[in-house]
């Protein structure tokens, strides 16, 4: 199997698993919106969940994965099974101890952490105290998902993608069940979601045990923390704590600024971000996670031409898959919130405000996708300094624009600032990588981009025309409204896919293969 086929196959498997998880996440958000709406309690919950979620990106999906996978892959492919298992056991032991300390410190320091990121909540009596309570309850979640990330890295290097990627579905189901069954028993009811988060994190980790046993990778204590491979992982990981998770750092800044805006602003941004992350999780994260083992192996073998070709191919797939998703998010924002969320405590104003946030987030989708390919390439090349420096300047751009735009545009200005910051981050990463990896030739992407413009425009016009037949802010029968939205999405996909094949866009067949694999062969 060629590297291109391996990347496409892995992305398809990850996309299938992640698609199930994102659908579960959508159902979860619908349930949360119906039960709790957008206001005092949900603002507090989403702000509280920001802290363990940020640490999850730092220690788990971000720097740990980016540092562990290249090193573990190198040991596994060059030194063999026994040495790879020994290194993994050391990492299991070290990570368990570190995360236990992090959780204890996080619970102890919760009042100060919450006060820092939700400072604006202090103006509303009881809001900061509720946020602190929720944060303390949910902080152990970071312990479970960090160990899950290590298990995911081990299994991904060994070619197993599906079960780790589908595990977030368990978290979503746990939160849904807790919210529906126990909200009436909790005081305040929003506490039921926090208990669901903890249970979901534990179950996510436990479900990996059978697969780890199958690969003979169940953890055993090993305290040789100064092993050269482990020291290399640590050196790569420490600066990556900020570099890889820049998007989440910017999300925290955005929510901090939003805490000074009218009540509901944090919730509008959360709901906007959640739908923004739907295609991000299905395609961007899947592709980035699938390409990392290939990049790591090619870098370890010093095959720079192959490394450059894999990066270019991944960026091409990202362009084909994410460009129509960006247009689709903007056009379908209000219909989606109207159809799935407008019930119970979530009214037409919440629909409109959340849709505005999503439309402002959407232009940054492609930039986030490019960054998720470019940043790990630096790590595969053992360069951790460059992404950190770029991340620092990106953060400054986001803060500056957020302060500038939050006055006239409120929460929409904050979402737009994050999109512009994502563009800045992707451009700077690309410019520097072209200098570090001269073999990387991006010129073939320009003709492909020009070919994509016509299918995207045709798709956009068709979707806009179909959706314009309904006033989505007015309540109506769900069946015909769902039919209109389904028709718009189906026609849009058909026109875009047909246009790509008609114009023979490079990589379009691979994207089609990924979609078919997600729909019909979603297992690995």
Give the Cα separation of 75 and 478 in Å (integer). 54
Give the Cα separation of 189 and 179 in Å (integer). 8
- Over residues 191-195, the mean pLDDT reads 93
Same-domain check for residues 225 and 333: no
Give the Cα separation of 149 and 168 in Å (integer). 12
Predicted confidence at residue 133, as pLDDT, reads 93
Same-domain check for residues 336 and 473: yes
Instruction: Please write down the long-range contacts of 479-484, taking CB distance under 8 Å and 24 or more positions apart.
Output: 481/335, 481/338, 481/339, 482/339, 484/335
- Over residues 146-160, the mean pLDDT reads 84
Q: What is the DSSP letter of 346?
A: B
Tokens of 88: 């993994």
Which burial class, exposed, middle or buried, applies to 407 when counting CB atoms under 10 A from its CB (0-12, 13-18, 19+)? exposed
Q: Classify 343 as helix, strand or coil.
A: strand
Mean pLDDT of the chain: 82
Q: Identify the top-confidence range among 154-168, 265-279, 457-471, 497-511.
A: 457-471
Same-domain check for residues 211 and 307: no
Question: Maximum Cα–Cα distance for the chain, whole Å?
Answer: 66
Same-domain check for residues 244 and 268: no
pTM assigned to the model: 0.69
Predicted confidence at residue 503, as pLDDT, reads 73
Helix (H) or strand (E) holding 498: helix 478-502
- Over residues 317-323, the mean pLDDT reads 84
The answer to whether the beta carbons of residues 460 and 489 sit under 8 Å apart is no
Q: Where among 228, 250, 272 does a domain terminate?
A: 250
Q: Where among 216, 250, 284 does a domain terminate?
A: 250
State pLDDT tens for residues 245-257. 565 677 778 878 8
Is residue 214 over pLDDT 70?
yes
- Does the residue 167 lie in any domain? yes
Range of the domain at 190: 18-250
- Look at the chain and report how many structural domains it folds into: 2
Same-domain check for residues 181 and 42: yes
Residue 132, number of CB atoms within 10 A of its CB = 20
In the structure, what pLDDT confidence band is assigned to residue 521 with cuts at 50, 70 and 90?
very low
Give the Cα separation of 129 and 108 in Å (integer). 14
Same-domain check for residues 107 and 182: yes
Whether omega before 351 lies within 30 degrees of 0, making that bond cis, reads no
Instruction: Please write down the long-range contacts of 123-131, taking CB distance under 8 Å and 24 or more positions apart.
Output: 124/40, 124/263, 127/40, 127/43, 127/44, 130/40, 130/41, 130/44, 130/188, 130/190, 131/44, 131/45, 131/47, 131/48
Output the 3-class SS for 130-192. Answer: HHHHHHHHHCCHHHHHHHHHHHHHHHHHCCCCHHHHHCHHHHHHHHHHHHHHHCCCCCCCCHH
Same-domain check for residues 355 and 399: yes
Same-domain check for residues 219 and 286: no
Predicted confidence at residue 488, as pLDDT, reads 93
Q: State what percent of residues in the chain have pLDDT above 70.
A: 85
- Does the residue 500 lie in any domain? yes
- Does the residue 337 lie in any domain? yes
Predicted confidence at residue 523, as pLDDT, reads 37
Same-domain check for residues 295 and 169: no
Compute the radius of gyration of the chain from its Cα atoms.
Answer: 22
- Does the residue 5 lie in any domain? no
Same-domain check for residues 204 and 305: no
Which burial class, exposed, middle or buried, applies to 169 when counting CB atoms under 10 A from its CB (0-12, 13-18, 19+)? buried
Instruction: Please write down the long-range contacts of 463-469, taking CB distance under 8 Å and 24 or more positions apart.
Output: 463/327, 463/328, 463/331, 463/332, 463/488, 463/489, 463/491, 463/492, 464/331, 466/491, 467/331, 467/332, 467/335
Q: Classify 364 as helix, strand or coil.
A: helix
- Does the residue 13 lie in any domain? no
Same-domain check for residues 234 and 319: no
- Does the residue 6 lie in any domain? no
Helix (H) or strand (E) holding 7: helix 3-36
The answer to whether the beta carbons of residues 239 and 388 sit under 8 Å apart is yes
- Does the residue 10 lie in any domain? no
Tokens of 161: 């993608």
- Does the residue 222 lie in any domain? yes
Share of the chain residues as helix, strand and coil, in percent rounded to the nearest 5: 85, 0, 15
Same-domain check for residues 323 and 224: no
Predicted confidence at residue 3, as pLDDT, reads 58
Q: Where among 218, 250, 282 does a domain terminate?
A: 250
Is residue 419 over pLDDT 60?
yes
Q: How far is CA 49 from CA 110, 276, 382, 452, in A?
A: 12, 18, 32, 38
In the structure, what pLDDT confidence band is assigned to residue 62 with cuts at 50, 70 and 90?
low
């Amino acid at each position: 199997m060629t590297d291109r086929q391996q990347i496409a196959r892995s992305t398809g498997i990850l996309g299938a698993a992640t698609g199930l998880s994102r659908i579960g996440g959508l159902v979860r958000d619908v349930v949360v919106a119906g039960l709790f709406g957008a206001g005092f309690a949900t603002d507090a919950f989403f702000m509280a969940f920001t802290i363990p979620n940020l640490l999850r990106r730092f220690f788990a999906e971000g720097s740990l994965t980016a540092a562990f996978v290249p090193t573990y892959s190198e040991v596994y492919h060059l030194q063999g099974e026994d040495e790879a298992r020994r290194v993994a056991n050391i990492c299991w032991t070290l990570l368990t101890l570190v995360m236990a300390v992090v959780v204890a410190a996080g619970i102890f320091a919760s009042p100060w952490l919450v006060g820092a990121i939700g400072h604006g909540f202090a103006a509303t009596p009881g809001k900061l105290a509720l946020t602190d309570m929720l944060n303390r309850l949910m902080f152990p979640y970071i312990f479970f998902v960090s160990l899950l990330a290590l298990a995911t890295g081990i299994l991904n290097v060994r070619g197993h993608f599906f079960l780790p990627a589908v595990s977030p579905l368990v978290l979503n189901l746990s939160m849904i069940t807790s919210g529906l069954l126990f909200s009436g028993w909790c005081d305040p009811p929003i506490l039921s979601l926090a208990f669901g988060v903890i249970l979901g994190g534990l179950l996510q980790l436990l479900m990996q045990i059978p697969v780890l046993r199958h690969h003979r990778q169940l953890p055993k204590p090993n305290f040789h923390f100064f092993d050269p491979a482990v020291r290399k992982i640590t050196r790569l990981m420490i600066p990556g704590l900020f570099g890889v998770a820049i998007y989440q750092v910017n999300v925290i800044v955005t929510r901090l600024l939003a805490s000074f805006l009218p009540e509901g602003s944090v919730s509008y941004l959360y709901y906007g971000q959640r739908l923004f992350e739907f295609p991000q999780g299905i395609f961007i994260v899947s592709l980035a996670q699938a390409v990392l083992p290939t990049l790591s192996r090619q870098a370890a073998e010093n095959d720079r031409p192959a490394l450059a070709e894999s990066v270019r191919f991944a960026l091409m797939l990202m362009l084909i898959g994410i460009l129509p998703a960006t247009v689709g998010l903007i056009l379908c924002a209000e219909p989606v919130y109207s159809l799935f969320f407008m019930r119970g405590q979530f009214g037409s104003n919440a629909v409109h405000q959340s849709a505005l946030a999503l439309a402002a987030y959407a232009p940054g989708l492609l930039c986030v996708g490019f960054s998720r390919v470019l940043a790990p390439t630096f790590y595969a090349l053992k360069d951790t300094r460059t992404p950190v420096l770029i991340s620092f300047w990106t953060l400054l751009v986001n803060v500056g624009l957020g302060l500038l735009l939050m006055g006239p545009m409120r929460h929409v200005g904050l979402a737009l600032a994050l999109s512009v910051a994502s563009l800045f981050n992707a451009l700077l990463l690309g410019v520097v990588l072209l200098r570090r990896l001269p073999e990387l030739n991006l010129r073939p992407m320009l003709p492909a981009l020009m070919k994509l413009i016509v299918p995207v425009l045709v798709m956009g016009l068709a979707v806009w025309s179909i959706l314009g037949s309904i006033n989505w802010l007015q309540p109506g029968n769900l069946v015909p409204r769902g039919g209109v939205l389904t028709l718009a999405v189906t026609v849009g996909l058909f026109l875009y896919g047909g246009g790509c094949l008609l114009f023979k866009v490079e990589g379009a067949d691979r994207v089609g293969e990924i979609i078919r694999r997600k729909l019909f062969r979603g297992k690995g």
